[in-house]
Structure 1
Amino acid sequence: MPISFTRSLATLIIGLSTVPGVAQAESFSKLAQQNYAVGKLTRGKAGGYGWVVSNGSKQFFCRVDASLAYVSRKEMVSILSSGRLVKLDRAAFEASIGGPDPSIPQWSDLQAGRVKPADVGSCTPTR
């Protein structure tokens, strides 16, 4: 790439990152520390799963970062970024990894908004 193009691109990126009034993403951990309430699992504009997190005046949509969830003793789901859920056989999965994985969340907890920061991805303002 020519040096002038690289400098122009770098200038553009720096300029866009410092424009006032542009909505900035927040981390779920930071929002949780500020007592934002977590809603039930819903689907975003692009179809992916996530939660609306709000404090009354500000709202963020926080995407699901978990890729797997336990549904029952026999079933689990793979959560795709497109919003598609793929059913998996829990016994076969656990046999392949050597047993249950305590870091995999329960689907019912995700649906109810009982989430851990590890299960939550980026949070973007909705209004």
Structure 2
Amino acid sequence: MFPKQFNDCIFFGAVACVLAACQTAGGSSSRYEVLKSQGYKTGSLTQSASGSAGWYLSGDGKRIFCQARGGVTYVGETGMVILIPTSGRMLKVDREAYHKHQGVTKTDAAQLSDLKAGRLRPRDVGRCTFVSN
């Protein structure tokens, strides 16, 4: 019905809106770094009671939930998803089309397997909140 360029524009406009909505407040990664330096252990990617995607950190008799920072994530060598932290959902994206639209051949996105296993970079972590003792 519409020209292909129009459909591409709508798709990538929607992707940009999702990515903008995924961003959490800055400065949270420093809290994660402090907790890790204090010996807190990071669990695997999970969902909180409210459905947010993230990781439970445990140590010193306390549990803290750190929300995932949303954005694009690589899946293996050819796949890509957009992680939406507030709902814990992942949207599959065409990796080649994404890179072509961005004008790059590769981005500095994390591998989904690393996020699932709790192997995090500070930039992958959003806000951290105390859960329980």
Please state which band the TM-score falls in when normalised by the shorter chain: 0.7 to 0.9
Choose from 36, 48, 52 the match for 2:52: 48
Residues in 1 aligned to 2:97 and 2:39: alpha-carbon distance in whole angstroms = 39
Query: Among 106, 112, 124, which residue is 2:111 paired with?
Result: 106
CA RMSD of aligned residues (A): 1.6
Secondary structure class of the residue paired with 1:114: coil
How far off is 1:63 after superposition? 0.3
Q: Match of 1:61, as an amino acid?
A: F
Aligned to 1:88: 93
Q: Share of identical aligned residues, percent?
A: 36
Larger C-alpha radius of gyration, 1 or 2? 1
CA contact (8 A) 1:73 1:90 kept: no
Deviations along 1:91-123, one digit per CA (max 9) or x if unpaired, are 111112221012x10000000000011000111
2: distance between equivalents of 1:93 and 1:117? 24
Which of 59, 64, 77 aligns to 1:60? It is: 64
Alpha-carbon shift at residue 74 of structure 1 (Å):
2.2
Aligned AA (1:34)? Q
User: How far apart are residue 56 of structure 1 and its match?
Assistant: 4.6
The runs of 5 or more residues in structure 2 that have no matched partner are 1-27
Higher helix proportion (structure 1 or 2): 2
Alignment partners' CA distance in 2, 1:76 and 1:48: 20
**Dislocated runs of 4+, deviation >4 Å:** none
Structure 1 residue 29: Cα displacement: 1.2
**TM-score for both structures, normalised by structure 1:** 0.75
